[in-house]
Amino acid sequence: MDSIRIVGGKPLSGTVAVSGSKNAALPILCSSLLADGESTFRNVPDLRDIGTTAALLRHMGLGVDVAPPLVTVRNTGITATDAPYELVRQMRASVLVLGPLVARFGRARVSLPGGCAIGARPIDQHLKGLTAMGAKVELDHGYVDVVVPSGRLRGADFRFDVNTVTGTENLMCAAALARGRTTLANAAREPEIEELAHVLNKMGARVEGAGTDTIVIEGRDALSPVDHAIIADRIEAGTFMVAAAATGGNVLVDNVEPEHLTAVIRKLRQAGVAVEREGRGVRVAGKPPFVPTDITTAPHPGFPTDMQAQLMVLMCLAEGVSTITEMIFENRFMHVSELNRMGASIDVDGRSARVTGHAKLQGASVMATDLRASASLVIAGLVAEGETRVLRVYHIDRGYERIEKKLSGLGADVERIKGDG
């Protein structure tokens, strides 16, 4: 396993281009199950999760060529409708094949994704929605077996009990081929959901209201393949914006949709960071100490939970105390103990972390526990005095394309150490 070695203390400067969005690409690649023919996806990030998704689709009999940023999917008929444990345990988002499979083939057998480092993460809402559309769901030896007795899903009015991103995406795909109209109430509103709706409509579906909390889908008998370029990754962009400010740098984060980051930009400005739109990106400049800023994570357009760990590092460099409250996942403070080992002063009490600023971060060997926690440790390493080793960087490779190359392009002293993690 690789590790990343960082010598901190260098302000980042220059331009970094943001890659395509992981959390938009995954549901979109899975939606290619809905239509026969060849689909072409552009601006696809070169990430481990894309490889896992390709393996999943190949397991079902699709032809998939992955040559990032281009991915081609040929659907000439599938040979399997199951998502095996071996693949699902590598990537929870494998559950995104559920909606397309049940909608297209009237059945699916998907390994139930267990919990992960950040929480229990059940899929009850996905299954409840499919049941409302006429499916029968059974748990069988760690798998969910879903069958549509009538052979085809029917449209339904469904209200989510909790706001769920992949739940909304799964039911949008399911409804796209159902008989009749489906209304999804209390739906998630993330930009990745608008992007999936955009792709489904390019495939011939009729999805309206994506981006609001009520989505209406008129089912179609058949859909067509698509050629689509994936939106930029707002969380990767946000991560570089925080890294620029935390190191006292000045960086143009290019190929960003600022509208996808309003809550993050608002908090950065509140903390005293300069964020200005520039061309197809945003210029970010900042210098510690920052203004203490309280943050509470929430579904979009609220503050994204996927940026919580990164902002926490910035608040370690504030002149005073900030409170960070994690409302989406019950166990998303795994980075705190590692940051405290680097000299931060963070106390966790249930869903809230009290961050006392003025930290003099020191380089150390630290362990990544999940994707965004590892991003926060990399940022802390860029700020810290001396050398930091971030171990288990396979977490970061799931969601950041060549992060060490992009950071060294901004003047950071960072490198990947092969087989050292």
Chain residues that interact with ligand EPZ, rule: CB under 6 A: 23, 26, 93, 119-126, 162, 164-167, 188, 305-306, 328-329, 371-372, 399
**Which of residues 84 and 122 has its CB atom nearest to ligand EPZ in the complex?**
122
Tokens read off for 144: 């969910």
* In the complex, minimum distance from the CB of residue 235 to ligand EPZ, in angstroms, rounded to a whole number: 6
What 8-state DSSP symbol labels residue 386? S
Residue 332 CB, nearest distance to ligand EPZ (Å)? 8
Q: How far is the CB of 143 from ligand EPZ (least distance, A)?
A: 16
Q: Which is nearer to ligand EPZ, 252 or 314 (CB)?
A: 314
Tracing tokens 């795994």 back to the chain, one arrives at: 334
Nearer to ligand EPZ, 167 or 286 (CB): 167
Q: How far is the CB of 125 from ligand EPZ (least distance, A)?
A: 3
Instruction: Write the single-letter amino acid at 283.
Output: R
DSSP 230: P
* Nearer to ligand EPZ among residue 160 and residue 290 (C-beta): 160
d(CA 146, CA 99): 10
Give the shortest CB-99-to-ligand EPZ separation in angstroms. 12
Q: What is the DSSP letter of 94?
A: G
Distance CA 335, CA 197 (A): 34
Smallest distance, Å, CB 351 to ligand EPZ? 11
Which CB sits closer to ligand EPZ, 189 or 389?
Answer: 189
Of 196, 97, 119, 103, whose CA–CA distance to 155 is shortest?
Answer: 103
Q: How far apart are CA 275 and CA 194, in angstroms?
A: 25
Nearer to ligand EPZ, 175 or 328 (CB): 328
Closer of 169 and 254 to ligand EPZ (Cβ): 169
Q: What is the DSSP letter of 204?
A: T
- Cα distances from 345 to residues 292, 311, 315, 330, 367, in angstroms, run 14, 14, 10, 21, 18
The letter for the amino acid at 77 is: G
Q: Is 173 tagged catalytic?
A: no
Q: Rounded CA gap, 111 and 91, in Å?
A: 11
Angle in degrees, CA 311, 94, 181, rounded to 5: 100
Backbone φ and ψ for 413, nearest 5 degrees, come out as -95, 90
Query: Please, are residues 346 and 340 in contact by the beta-carbon 8 Å criterion?
Result: yes
Burial class (CB in 10 A: 0-12, 13-18, 19+), 393: buried
Question: Considering 30, 116, 173, 316, which one is annotated as catalytic?
Answer: 116
Q: Where are the beta strands (DSSP E) in 160-300?
A: 181-185, 206-208, 214-218, 227-229, 250-254, 274-278, 281-285, 295-296
Q: How far is the CB of 397 from ligand EPZ (least distance, A)?
A: 13
Residues taking part in catalysis: 116
